[in-house]
Amino acid sequence: MAAFGTKALHRLPLYLRVLREWEREGRGHASGAVLAAALGLDPILVRKDLARTGVRGTPRVGFPIAELVAELERLTGAASEQTAVLAGVGRLGSALLGYPGFRKQGLRIVAAFDAAPERCNLVLSGTPVFPAGAITEMVMRLGVPLGILTVPAERAQRVAEQMVAGGIRAIWNFTPARLEVPDEVLVQREDLAVSLAVLLHRLQERSV
Amino acid sequence: MAAFGTKALHRLPLYLRVLREWEREGRGHASGAVLAAALGLDPILVRKDLARTGVRGTPRVGFPIAELVAELERLTGAASEQTAVLAGVGRLGSALLGYPGFRKQGLRIVAAFDAAPERCNLVLSGTPVFPAGAITEMVMRLGVPLGILTVPAERAQRVAEQMVAGGIRAIWNFTPARLEVPDEVLVQREDLAVSLAVLLHRLQERSV
DNA sequence: TAGATTGTTAATCGATTAACAATC
DNA sequence: TAGATTGTTAATCGATTAACAATC
């Protein structure tokens, strides 16, 4: 059950999605090859990933789906519910608040924040919006481990610091800003401009 | 000027962003080490990436910023304007329509589509919204190479096929659906649930 | 000239792919 | 038993890191 590399980690949720579906259909076992085919991946690669989850398969039968689902849910954090706060209730922030996929991943956004007074005291998709000044105290009081950052880039560093002051442990950064935070705070970037650049590059490459 | 790997490709937009800023500040040259420090990357890695752009640096001086910016813009597709259509004007779709970062990347979303009649004939962030039935004809008539998919997962495959029928060359897929399209159509997934799973896994790992 | 920085070649590392033995 | 599929060990591949020569 060694650590998963970045690449492997990205595949686990894909396995989970397909296996959950199969579980609902009542299938009991799945071979690495079948799962690989469903996802268009290399069978050997899938088998190795499954082996690394620690779940044991049986030759001629495959891996027990229920056990795989349980273990993958644990590994991807979907097994235990986590709370988060979201700062910046602009277009992207509002979209994320209403995204049903997060709930399935075990994530509950318990509070949102915004600098604009007219957006505060609203309730968006079931999440109450508070003034930006309340971030630190709220994060601290609720013991929220995850902060979602959807503020304008120029405000990102300041808001990140407010979260850190409240004891946040991870920040999901949707802004292009590079955040300076203590080492123990995990930062994950989600930069659409970067993704778009990669896509446009690949598109260009094909045209040649 | 060999091909860039996936990892390297993700770094190019980061270089570009910093170098553009330095260019505005009037700086003429930058060494790989300085750029690496600004981004928190390994200096040798940065130097190698820069070398691969084909731009020649001079010892003791560094790389010419203007040339790097021009070449990076070309490599990331920001140099030439590209058009796109967007299908699915829900929360996420509307957020993307209003995202100013795309424009900076040379992307212009020329038309949006939605299945709901009440959303059609609207103009959102400057982009007109048409009925979903018009996708194929519109893509074909305007010769749009890129389709952005922000429809519900269960409708993704059908809409993708409409785009393909119109001659689309790449699809940026924001749904969790796995699309079946001809080999010559490039598909890039942008799956927030996957990113969240990776983040939650890493957070869990640290708590141990 | 001396020293900083590039350019290039070699070593390391991690992930993927291949080969094959173990087992139900 | 025979054959499919797992589990494991080795080979390959690509990306990163290190070492060092070239050069302004």
| B16 phi and psi angles, rounded to 5 deg | -60, -45
- Domain ranges, ordered by start, for chain B: 6-76, 82-194
Residue B58 CA neighbour count, 13 Å, CB half: 6
CA A98 – CA B90 distance, rounded (Å) = 10
Interface touch A95/B91, C-beta < 8 Å: yes
B40-62: average pLDDT: 95
* Separation in Å, CA A81 to CA A25, A73, A76: 25, 11, 11
Residue with tokens 């930058």: B30
Q: State the pTM of this model.
A: 0.94
pLDDT at A3: 80
CA A111 – CA A131 distance, rounded (Å) = 11
* Separation in Å, CA A167 to CA A113, A138, B130, B202: 16, 10, 47, 17
| A144 phi and psi angles, rounded to 5 deg | -80, 130
pLDDT at B206: 84
Protein CA B47 to sugar C1' C14 (Å)? 21
Residue B46 beta carbon within 7 A of nucleic strand C = no
CA A196 – CA B173 distance, rounded (Å) = 11
Which residue in A16, A78, A198 is closest to B9 by CB distance? Answer: A198
pLDDT band at B1; cut points 50, 70, 90: very low
Chain A contact set for B179 (CB, 8 A): none
Distance of CA A172 to the CA centre of its chain: 8
pLDDT in tens, B119-175: 999 999 999 999 999 999 999 999 999 999 999 999 999 999 999 999 999 999 999
Protein CA A173 to sugar C1' D23 (Å)? 42
Distance of CA A208 to the CA centre of its chain: 36
The correct CATH number of A82-194 out of 1.20.120.1080, 3.40.50.300, 1.10.3130.10, 3.40.50.720 is: 3.40.50.720
Instruction: Give the type of residue at B205.
Output: E
Per-position pLDDT tens, chain A of length 208: 468 998 999 999 999 999 999 999 999 999 999 999 999 999 999 999 999 999 999 999 999 999 999 999 999 999 999 999 999 999 999 999 999 889 989 999 999 999 999 999 999 999 999 999 999 999 999 999 999 999 999 999 999 999 999 999 999 999 999 999 999 999 999 999 999 999 999 999 887 6
Cβ(A12)–Cβ(A72) under 8 Å? yes
pLDDT at B207: 78
CA B147 – CA B150 distance, rounded (Å) = 10
Is B6-76 in CATH node 1.10.10.10? yes
